[in-house]
Amino acid sequence: MAMTLARGAAPSINARPFPVRRTPPVTQPAPIGILVSSDRASAGLYEDRGGPAILAYLTEVLTSPWQPVLRVVPDDREIIARTLIEMADTLGCALILTTGGTGPALRDVTVEATLDVCDRPMPGFGEAMRTASLREVPTAILSRQEAALRNRTLIINLPGKPSAIKTCLDAVFAAVPYCIDLMDGPRLETDPARIVAFRPRA
Q: What is the mean pLDDT of the chain?
A: 91
pLDDT recorded at residue 30 = 98
Q: Say yes or no to pLDDT of 26 above 80.
A: no
Q: Residues 104-135: pLDDT tens digits?
A: 999 999 999 999 999 999 999 999 999 999 99
Please say if the pLDDT value at position 21 is more than 60. no
Report the C-alpha gap between 194 and 179 in whole angstroms.
Answer: 19
Q: Identify the CATH class of 27-182.
A: alpha beta
- What is the spatial distance between Cα 55 and Cα 62, in angstroms, rounded to a whole number? 11
Collapsing DSSP states into helix, strand and coil, what is residue 143?
coil
> What are 33-82's pLDDT values in tens digits?
999 999 999 999 989 999 999 999 999 999 999 999 999 999 999 999 99
The pLDDT score that the predictor gives to residue 201 is: 85
Q: What is the pLDDT of residue 70?
A: 97
Query: Domain extents for the chain?
Result: 27-182
* Rounded Cα gap, residues 5 and 15, in angstroms: 23
Q: Where are the beta strands (DSSP E) in the chain?
A: 4-6, 30-37, 66-73, 95-99, 120-121, 147-150, 153-158
